[in-house]
Chains A and B, each alone.
Chain A
Amino acid sequence: MVSEGNILEVKNLNVSFRVRGSEIEAIHDISLDLREHETLAIVGESGSGKSVLTKTFTGMLETNGRISQGTVDYKNSRLSDLKLNKQWTKIRGKEIATIFQDPMTSLDPIHTIGSQISEVVVKHQGKTKKEAKKIAIDLMKKTGIPNAEKRYNEYPFEYSGGMRQRIVIAIALACRPEVLICDEPTTALDVTIQAQILDLIKDLQQEYQFTIIFITHDLGVVASIADRIAVMYSGRIVEIGTCEEIFYDSRHPYTWSLLSSLPQLARKGEDLKSIPGTPPSLYKKIEGDAFAPRNQYAMGVDFKAEPPMFKVTDTHYAKTWLLDKRAPKVEKPELIQNLHQHMIEMTKEDN
C-alpha cells in the first residue's frame, strides 16, 4: 500500500544482473516516491540505471536481471513480488505505460498505423472494432496528426520520426494509463520536433491527468517539463529536488558537472566544462561515493564510506559528504552560480 498522495513507492531497491558468471549491481539502494499527477524527471548518463529502474515498474527487466533487495509498490499492489506474466499484463500498458526512445522499432512495420492503435483500444477498453477506430482517429488528432482519417490507413514507413513518436504516444494513451514512463522520447528527434513533442506531452497531461516519469540524459530538456528531478549516477540517486532546487540550488558535485557541461552555458573560446574520466565499471564493487574518482571536490571519506542522503529541504536531498557538518564549505562552480541571471542575459541577447 502506498501512502496518501503517492502513486508509486520504491524502497531500498537493489537490482542486479548476472553477466558472464558474475553478479553486477545496476541499481543500488534507491528509495523514491512518485506523487500523483506530477512529472518526475530522471536524469543520468547511459549505464546509470535510469531505464533499469523504470523497467522494474513494468516487469520488463531482462531475464538475467532480478530485484535482489527492496520493494516497489504501485497503489495496492507490490510490484516487486509479481512473477507471472499474467499478473504483469494487468499493470503493463493499462496502469503503467512506456514510450520508448526509438519510434521506428516500437511500431510494427507491417501493420497500418490505425490498426496498431485500435488494437490496443479493443483489448484494453473492450470496445468493438468500429468504436475503436473512432477513438483511434480521435487520439491521432489529439496527438497532432493532420489528416487523421486518411493517415489511419498508412504504414509506419510513411510517417516521419516525429509523427511516429506521436503515434507511439497515442498508443500509450489508448490504454488510459495512470503512469506514463517516457524513456528518452525525444532523443532521436530534431530539436524543433523535440520542442513540439514536449509541448504535446504537457498538454496531454493537463487533459488526461496522468503521472509522468521522464527519463533523459539531457538536463536542458527537462527544465520546461519537470516538477521534480532525480539525478542518477551509477545506479544511485545522488540528488533529488524540485526543478528549481536542482537548477538554481543544486548540492551534488555531479549535478554541478552536468549543469556546467551544458553547451548553452558555454563561453566562446573556452573549453566546455566536462567531467574527466568515465563512469565506474560495474564489474568492480564500488567503495565509498561512486562519483569520488571523477569528483574534484572529493575528500578522503568519499573513497571509504558511502554517503547517506542528506536533507537540504523537505523536498531536496543529496547524497554527498559535502553536506555533512564536518565537511569544508565548498562553493559550486562559478559558471552555474548565477545560472538564472546568465540565462536571462543570453536569451535577451538572442531576442
Chain B
Amino acid sequence: MNNANRETLLSIKDLEITFGSGKSKFVAVQDVNFDIFKGEIFSLVGESGSGKTTIGRAVLGINPTSKGEIIFEGKQINGKISSKEKFQIERKIQMIFQDPSASLNERATVDYIISEGLYNYKLFKTEDERLNKVREMLEAVGLLPEQLYRYPHEFSGGQRQRIGIARALIMNPDLVVADEPISALDMSIRAQVLNLLKKFQREQGVTFLFVAHDLSVVRYISDRIAVIRAGKILELAETEELFKNPIHPYTKSLLSAIPIPDPQIARSRKNIIYNPNMHDYSIEKPEFREIRTGHFVYCSDSEAIEYKKNIKD
C-alpha cells in the first residue's frame, strides 16, 4: 500500500509524557512518532506498563503531554485549546475503556449510560428516535432489549464491556481509541465484537487506535501494528509484514508467547524471553529508522545492518 497517498487522520510527533516532577519525575512515553491513516485500524501492542494506554489517553486529552504534538484532522489538539474546540473533539474521538466496571456509572441504567452522549450533544429529535438508536446499538453489541433498564452491577464483566462499546459507537465518532476492549470478553463474544469493530470500520469509515497486548487478536483486526515497550516504539509495520519479518527481538518474544491452539505444536514450542540488556547502546545511539518501506525499527547503525541481512521477502 502506498502510504504517501493516504489521508492522515491523526499524527503524533515526538510525543513525550511525564508524570510527577523533580526527583519523582517519571517519563512514561518518549520520542513517539506515528501517523494514523483515515479508515484504518492501527494497533499499539505492548505489555502492561509499556505506555500504550497513556498514549491513547493523551489522544483523548485525558493525560497532559510534556513535549511534542498530537494533530487531529490537521489541528493540534494537545496543549491549550478552546473549550468549544474541545467539546467538538470530544464527540469525534471516543474511547472504549479497559476496565468496564470502573468506567460505567453504577447508579445509571444501561439506557441512560448509552444515551448520555446523545443527550449532551442533542443528537436526536424525538424520544422514539433516541430509544431506537439505543436499541439498535444494544443489539449490535450482543445484549438483550430486556436489559435496557438494568444497572451495571447486574452484568458480567463481558457484558459491561459491551455497554462501554455501545456508548462510544453510538456517537458516530471519527476516531475510536479502543483500550483492550476485548480482553474481558469470552471467545465467542470476542469474535462478535471484533467483527463489530471491523464492521464499523468498513461501513462507516471509523478509524481505530486499538490498544492491546494480545498479538493474535491484533493480527486479525489491524492494518498496521506498532510494538511498544517501556515508553518507546520498537517496531512499526503493516500487519502481515510484521508477522512475516519480525525484526526487533522484543517483537519476536511477543510472537512466541501467542498461544497456539494445537496440542502437538504448543507442547513442543519454546518461549523466547526478551532481555533488554542485550543491546549495547553505550557508543552508538539508537534511533527509529525505516529498515524497508513502511517498516520501522528502533535500533543502532550496526544493528540496522545486521537486521537488514535477515529480512525475508
Contact = CB atoms under 8 A, between A and B. Distances in A.
B259 A218 contact: yes
A187 B186 CA distance: 11
A218 B244 CA distance: 25
Contacts of A268: 220, 239-240
Contacts of B215: 191
B83 interface: no
Contacts of B274: 192
A60 interface: no
Given A46-B158, A271-B195, A219 B187 contact: yes
Interface stretch (A88-96, A123-131, A253-261): A253-261
B191 A261 contact: yes
A158 interface: no
Interface string B196-223: 0010000000000000011111011000
A196 B244 CA distance: 24
Most buried by A among B186, B216, B269: B186
A226 B216 CA distance: 21
B213 A349 contact: no
Contacts of B259: 191, 194-195, 218, 220-221, 223-224, 264
A273 B47 contact: no
A257 B194 CA distance: 15
Contact of A191 (B49, B240, B258): B258
Contact of B144 (A278, A344, A349): A278
B257 interface: yes
A14 to B, nearest CB: 22
A97 to B, nearest CB: 24
A290 B201 CA distance: 34
Interface residues on A, range: 35 or more
A258 B187 contact: yes
A313 interface: no
Question: Interface centre among A187, A343, A349, by most B CB within 10 Å?
Answer: A343
A195 B216 CA distance: 14
Given A190-B48, A274-B191, A195 B256 contact: yes
Contact of B188 (A220, A247, A261): A261
Contacts, number: 141
Given A347-B265, A349-B244, A264 B258 contact: yes
A264 B260 contact: yes
B267 interface: yes
Contact of B189 (A45, A193, A220, A339): A45
Which of B183, B255, B259 counts the most chain A CB atoms within 10 A?
Answer: B259
Nearest to B144: A278
Given A263-B194, A266-B220, A220 B261 contact: yes
13 contacts: A46-B158, A160-B48, A192-B253, A192-B273, A196-B271, A223-B260, A224-B269, A261-B187, A263-B216, A264-B258, A264-B259, A278-B142, A349-B244
3 smallest CB-CB distances across A and B, nearest first, come from: A274-B191, A224-B266, A45-B186
Interface of B: 47-49, 142-144, 156-158, 183, 186-192, 194-195, 198, 213-217, 219-220, 239-240, 243-244, 246, 253-267, 269, 271, 273-274
Given A46-B186, A190-B213, A243-B263, 20 more contacts: A46-B156, A187-B183, A191-B213, A191-B215, A191-B257, A192-B257, A192-B274, A195-B256, A218-B187, A220-B216, A244-B263, A257-B188, A258-B188, A262-B216, A264-B216, A272-B220, A340-B262, A350-B243, A350-B246, A350-B255
